A and B are shown apart, each in its own frame.
Chain A
């Protein structure tokens, strides 16, 4: 088997990890973002602490903690489970911060106008603030997704059979010059995989700009 096929064997796992963690993050970040913008100072501080703590510890440490450190009765995380939960929780923290930034960037006048028109809090939030915040942050979310794709490679250190793990395996079996190929292939693959996301993000961004340009 040549280097490329060996590496591609890990591709489904890489994609699965990325998308699972991303889904967890996209959804889980919503309540946390609300917490970060809360008027209740305790809620806000607790959310802030959570986000800063999760982002302040390297991903590899979280993965090892989950895989080796958690033993509740007979329950232990298997490598893939640890990776998905770990990457998922980290995504929640990063995306919550992105959401918060977006909500803050919506011009204050929007909220005031909605108020003056008599719209309720809920309608204002979901009908006025969120759509505009989403437009502002979708490039950041796309950028985060490409970052998450790369971070999925860290799962290789806890024996998850994604692309980098497969590269390592191949390189170990091929002590000759051929053994450098998987690393080059996998690097190119990651770069190539991030291109469609960047492209979609630009398309989405310009479509949204046209829709809301004043």
Chain B
């Protein structure tokens, strides 16, 4: 029982940590998704240079652990004289991560648009631009929504890794409290619950959307 009262005491501090986590997650999604759309187009472009560049950015963003990219930006770049503040580094690294993952989701979504749609567009004489922006993209993005929601949840959880670069997000805040008061079990359980209380409903909403969209196809 004392847990609950102590939890109530720690909550304000954890909330400020959570706010930072949400901020970083929000930024990485806000900048990462448009970048992801650009990447998904680059990866399927006809120009070899464009395609290779796109592929490299995506494969590194997806293939390297997020922690490594975080360390690269915060500990690695200073060796070259480029020093970022911890939050900036976290945002940059996670934006790269979210761009890479979202680009794959969007690419799959765009490619899943039935060939018949392209045929009809072409037969009607619609321009390439209109075919892409008015016929393919609306349908492709719609089917990408559940996947993109999943990536968003991933990003939110990924902010916990910014602990490693001294960002005062939720995980780091919890650890600080823990090392002060030596009640690790308590505080990490509370932190875990904070994450769960956001991630779990978000996942349920995503599944709901997935089922709804499967019905309308």
Q: How many Å from the CB of A142 to the closest CB on chain B?
A: 14
Contact with A along B180-199 (1 / 0, CB 8 A): 00001110110110011001
Considering the chains assembled together, what is the distance between the CA atoms of A177 and B184 in angstroms? 37
What residues on B are CB-neighbors of A69 within 8 Å?
A: 184-186, 188-189
What residues on B are CB-neighbors of A68 within 8 Å?
A: 178, 184-185, 188
Considering the chains assembled together, what is the distance between the CA atoms of A184 and B204 in angstroms? 37
Q: How many Å from the CB of B164 to the closest CB on chain A?
A: 6
What residues on A are CB-neighbors of B75 within 8 Å?
A: 168, 171, 179, 183
Tally of A-B Cβ pairs under 8 angstroms: 121
Considering the chains assembled together, what is the distance between the CA atoms of A191 and B204 in angstroms? 32
Q: How many residues of B contact A (CB 8 A)?
A: 39
| Contact of B79 with A64 in the complex, beta carbons under 8 Å | no
Considering the chains assembled together, what is the distance between the CA atoms of A153 and B71 in angstroms? 12
What residues on A are CB-neighbors of B76 within 8 Å?
A: 171, 179-180, 183-184
What residues on B are CB-neighbors of A156 within 8 Å?
A: 67, 164
Considering the chains assembled together, what is the distance between the CA atoms of A195 and B69 in angstroms? 19
Q: How many Å from the CB of A124 to the closest CB on chain B?
A: 26
| Contact of B175 with A56 in the complex, beta carbons under 8 Å | no
What residues on A are CB-neighbors of B121 within 8 Å?
A: none
The A-contacting residues of B in range 154-208, CB under 8 angstroms, are 157-158, 160-161, 163-164, 171, 174-175, 178, 184-186, 188-189, 191-192, 195-196, 199-200, 203-204
Known: A70-B185, A168-B71. A60 touches B161 (CB 8 A): yes
| Contact of A177 with B79 in the complex, beta carbons under 8 Å | yes
What residues on B are CB-neighbors of A1 within 8 Å?
A: none
| Contact of A57 with B195 in the complex, beta carbons under 8 Å | yes
| Contact of A180 with B80 in the complex, beta carbons under 8 Å | yes
Contact of A180 among B65, B79, B186 (CB under 8 A): B79
Considering the chains assembled together, what is the distance between the CA atoms of A70 and B188 in angstroms? 11
Q: How many Å from the CB of A173 to the closest CB on chain B?
A: 12
Chain A contact-residue range equals 35 or more
Contact of B63 among A52, A60, A70, A194 (CB under 8 A): A194
| Contact of A190 with B65 in the complex, beta carbons under 8 Å | yes
What residues on B are CB-neighbors of A168 within 8 Å?
A: 71, 75
The A-contacting residues of B in range 138-152, CB under 8 angstroms, are none
| Contact of B189 with A65 in the complex, beta carbons under 8 Å | yes
B77 sits at the interface (CB 8 A): yes
What residues on B are CB-neighbors of A177 within 8 Å?
A: 79-80
A87 sits at the interface (CB 8 A): no
| Contact of A167 with B71 in the complex, beta carbons under 8 Å | yes
What residues on A are CB-neighbors of B195 within 8 Å?
A: 56-58, 61
Considering the chains assembled together, what is the distance between the CA atoms of A21 and B129 in angstroms? 48
Known: A164-B67, A187-B68. A64 touches B80 (CB 8 A): no
In the complex, given contacts A52-B204, A156-B164, A179-B75, what are 4 additional A-B residue pairs having Cβ atoms less than 8 angstroms apart? A65-B189, A153-B68, A164-B65, A194-B63
Partner-A contacts on B (CB < 8 A): 59-60, 63-69, 71-72, 75-77, 79-80, 157-158, 160-161, 163-164, 171, 174-175, 178, 184-186, 188-189, 191-192, 195-196, 199-200, 203-204
17 sampled A-B residue pairs with Cβ under 8 A = A56-B203, A57-B196, A58-B161, A60-B163, A61-B171, A64-B184, A65-B184, A65-B185, A68-B178, A69-B184, A69-B186, A157-B67, A183-B76, A186-B68, A187-B72, A190-B65, A191-B59
